[in-house]
Structure 1
Amino acid sequence: MSKTHIPERVKIRLWGKAAGRCQYEGCNEPLWKDSLTESEFNTAYVAHIIADSPNGPRGHKILSKKLAKDINNLMLMCDKHHRLIDKEDEDGHPVERLKEMKKNHELRIEMVTSVGVNRKSNVLLYGANIGEHSSPINFEKTTPAMLPNRYPAENPAIELSLKNSLFRDDQDMYWVVERKNLKNQFIDKVKRRIELGDIRHLSVFALAPQPLLIELGVLISDIIQADVYQLHREPADWKWQDGPESFEYIVKEPEQIHDKVALNLSLSATIDNGRIIKVMGDDTSIWTVTIPIPNNDYLKSENQLSKVRTLFRELLNRIKSIHGHDNVIHVFPSIPVAVAIELGRVWMPKADLPLSLYDEKDGFHYTFTIGDTIRSKVIVSQ
């Protein structure tokens, strides 16, 4: 138990640096209220890293007295973590570990509070079942990726997911139900607020089958500003990283021009053209977008995403100019989440050809078409 009277001015500074939250790593509990009753009162403890007594936890015969009132030696903590570091597990909480906790917490608070008021963004979450797996996405795991450039405009986030769905992506009704839900939720929760001027920027986090991600991109479009994020495997987070200095996408044009046209998007994995021909027939012109070594974690930086947006915009125009304005593009995607969303965002309903979207499940299967299907003169038997 501390015997030192901490000056009020030091306590106030410590409260400010900690933003009134417990500085124990992973806790972040607000210390101005009771989490159960929501009653507001001071629940904080001021803990010493080096005890103010040589005989106390982590005490030192010289530093204890010297640092007893030093803010750099003090941490704001909840009751349970104050007890943990001083009584229950003193050995597990050496000086260096506590200093690191304090530093990381205060750096995070400084970073968050330094974001300008015009940098707020509404967080948009969307998940749908992929095979046997659900796709849970939560506010706490996604929003750190926005900092320091953006901060959440509100909590909770805008959630478009169909909760507890029993449908799986190998069922025809899955695509009907999920697509309808996505459209209705977007209109109700996003579009109306955009029209009212309540939403001016979106930060998008999604995990779903690729046709639905493309649909989500179409709904968002490029009318409103949006940052689209990608869940990385290494490290396992949503934060954009520094990408490779030299990076280019590869576009392979078909050798022969047929009425039927397919788009092979081999970025996360390689799609053999034979698999597309099996669905479409031999009389199909296949355009391919790929990279030197397709893999499911290639997309690291915003620059890579920006480049693929530009590529899609030019490629959709070129395919239309060569294959005619009354055609349809059959899309076979193996692409990252963010790339799928951006394909939908750059697609223009009045300017671009309809997109018939396919999903891979023991071979490629048609899901649904985006755009004016009446214009299509190509019908592929499923």
Structure 2
Amino acid sequence: MSSDRERDTVLQTRLVPMVSLDEVRDHAEAVRRLVKWEAIGVLLDEGPGAIVVVLLEDTRVVGALRFCLSSAESVKAIQAYGRDSDLTEMRCWQGHTMSDEQLVDLDKLTAIWQESSDQASSLDTQEVEDFFNQIETGTRKRGRGADMTVETRNQVLFDAHGRCMFEGCGTALTVDPLTGQRGNFAYLAHNVASSEGGARGVPYLSDRLSNRPDNILLLCDTHHRIIDTVAKADYPAERLSAMRQRFCRDVERLLDGLSRPPVPAFCVAWPVHQQTISVPSELQIAQALTPIGVRLDGQPNVLSDNETVLRSAEADTDNFWELMRSTVEHVAEQILRQSHVKAYRAALFAMGLMPSLIALGAKLGNKCEITPILRSRKHGLWYWPANQPRGEFFGIEGLEDLSNSEHEVCLKLALTASPEIMDATAEALGYRVVSVVANKDVIGNEALGHPDDGNLFRQRMQELLHKLGDNHGVERIHLLPCASNAACVFFGQAFDSHHPELMIYDFDPAKGPMVARLRVRNIDNRCSVDANVDSNSGPRGEMPR
């Protein structure tokens, strides 16, 4: 806007309320020259302490004004900004008071308008006059609003599926968990109160919203008391509306899972430097399987759960890695055998040291549909943080520097971070370096944040390993990983027949250069995992193949 005068016209709330109908009409004519709008709304806060007329372009507030007129003149004032036939939408920001700063900011008014979308009703001309008359006289309607109809009650019960809608509760309200007695133990609780004098009551709107299903929550006794008595100030109407919407959305998403094909879920928890790893809950499993388009078949199958022998062993000893080698072989065999009846489709919740996870992925291979699930380091939960695939979330560097007879190369897998010790290790090994690095905007534990990205990553890594062997004569790859659990398994699954062998390194607990821990290679078209390796030889006493 080019001047303060124009700003004052569009945001008349910067000035004192208009007190005459002529002043309103002059303002309506002036503001039409500056902005365009599709509809008119009335926005009020708790009390109400403020009543603002807003000019709307879709759901965005493009102008705002206030006036102080009689109820009859208030109707004419609103008509000055629209047509006689227009309905006027009224919304209440219940439980909140609009500040001076919010009243003079279109973005803040837009946010308030959108937050209040469920505390709303469309009024015709007579109803607008009735509302302003009620405000003018300071009267409140006594008693409760319209009774709930059978149809409304049933709709709320259908939406809730017989469970408490309070966030984090979900208690079944058709059975007593102590006695097993079946019955109706639910409360139908109004969001905006049915009575204007009740908890979250709103002048004029209470009666109009009393019989609307989306204004009613199914609650247990405890949470009914919390929102209406114990902590009602903490639960304004817009918070309860958002809670109800999330409940309905989550329930529908979970129930939609019933139509998806069932697959087994395998849990593999290998301790990391003697720290135990928690296996996922059934809720985490259900949520993690949704993006894959499958559901859990029966109970999760825990194949390895922080066994004492693994927790007690030091990760930098030969005995530990020989133990891990045999454990990887055993777990991979169990997964393939048990997933056979499901056409080798399964979900894998695996966590452990990076070489073990890469070796496990290699043993499982890429001909099956076994999908590793991400464990978020940030939240300690098993889930996919990205709602949509990111696509090429990484770049590949260094291929252009390779000859056609390299024999050995270093491959940096830097998706979580690119620590200096990784570069120092590569420099000490003395081979040319190829780097797979996450894009700067996503690098971190959640860089691979969607299962479709995992499938793409596995495909690209398979192509890269083929290219290194076929185009550049590479026979051995020194793999320096810094990646999430899911990325490690996906990378391992990329390993295929005729690929160069992988020497898989891990960080040294003593903070020295990275150390070779496991070797993955093909022997007679079978994937083999060896322990007790170093960067210059095969298993102890054996030259590399």
User: TM-score range with shorter-chain normalisation?
Assistant: 0.7 to 0.9
Name the residue aligned to 2:224.
Answer: 82
Does the Cα contact within 8 Å between 2:164 and 2:173 map onto a contact in 1? yes
Alignment of 1:107-186 (within 5 A): 107-115=249-257, 117-131=259-273, 133-139=275-281, 140-147=283-290, 150-154=293-297, 156-163=299-306, 165=308, 166-167=311-312, 168-186=314-332
Name the residue aligned to 2:337.
Answer: 192
Query: Do structure 1's residue 19 and structure 2's residue 161 form an aligned pair?
Result: yes
Of 512, 515, 518 in structure 2, the residue corresponding to residue 365 of structure 1 is 515
User: RMSD value over aligned CA atoms?
Assistant: 3.8
- For 1:287 and 1:163, how far apart are their aligned partners in 2? 34
- For 1:182 and 1:79, how far apart are their aligned partners in 2? 50
Relative to structure 2, which stretch is displaced further, 60-69 or 328-337?
A: 60-69
**Post-superposition shift, 1:104?**
1.1
Task: Classify the secondary structure of the residue corresponding to 2:248.
Answer: helix
Change (3 A) 1:96 1:322: closer
Query: Do structure 1's residue 312 and structure 2's residue 461 form an aligned pair?
Result: yes
Alpha-carbon deviations, 1:105-161, whole Å to 9, x = none? 112222333457244444343333223643324233453244365242246433334
Name the residue aligned to 2:247.
Answer: 105
**Post-superposition shift, 1:343?**
1.4
**Post-superposition shift, 1:286?**
4.1
Does the Cα contact within 8 Å between 1:328 and 1:378 map onto a contact in 2? no
Structure of higher RCO (CA pairs closer than 8 Å, 6+ residues apart): 1
Alignment of 1:1-382 (within 5 A): 6-35=148-177, 40-60=182-202, 62-115=204-257, 117-131=259-273, 133-139=275-281, 140-147=283-290, 150-154=293-297, 156-163=299-306, 165=308, 166-167=311-312, 168-188=314-334, 190-197=335-342, 201-231=345-375, 238-242=384-388, 249-253=395-399, 255=402, 257=405, 259-270=407-418, 272-276=422-426, 278=428, 280=429, 282=430, 284-291=431-438, 293=440, 295-297=443-445, 298-301=447-450, 304-321=453-470, 327-348=475-496, 350-361=497-508, 362=511, 363-372=513-522, 379=537
Taking only the aligned residue pairs, the percentage that are identical comes to: 22
Change (3 A) 1:181 1:245: closer
- For 2:538 and 2:162, how far apart are their aligned partners in 1? 62
Task: Classify the secondary structure of the residue corresponding to 2:234.
Answer: coil
Does the Cα contact within 8 Å between 2:372 and 2:486 map onto a contact in 1? yes
Does the Cα contact within 8 Å between 2:384 and 2:450 map onto a contact in 1? no
- Structure 2's unaligned 5+ residue stretches are 1-143, 541-545
- For 1:30 and 1:173, how far apart are their aligned partners in 2? 50
Relative to structure 2, which stretch is displaced further, 335-344 or 214-223?
A: 214-223
Does the Cα contact within 8 Å between 1:216 and 1:344 map onto a contact in 2? yes
Does the Cα contact within 8 Å between 1:146 and 1:239 map onto a contact in 2? no
- For 1:108 and 1:141, how far apart are their aligned partners in 2? 13
Larger radius of gyration: 2
The letter of the residue matching 1:22 is C
Change (3 A) 1:121 1:5: farther
Does the Cα contact within 8 Å between 2:374 and 2:484 map onto a contact in 1? yes
- For 1:69 and 1:161, how far apart are their aligned partners in 2? 53
- For 1:114 and 1:364, how far apart are their aligned partners in 2? 46
TM-score, structure 2 normalization: 0.58
Does the Cα contact within 8 Å between 1:144 and 1:239 map onto a contact in 2? no
Does the Cα contact within 8 Å between 1:31 and 1:42 map onto a contact in 2? yes
TM-score, structure 1 normalization: 0.80
Corresponding residue pairs, total = 374
Does the Cα contact within 8 Å between 2:422 and 2:514 map onto a contact in 1? no
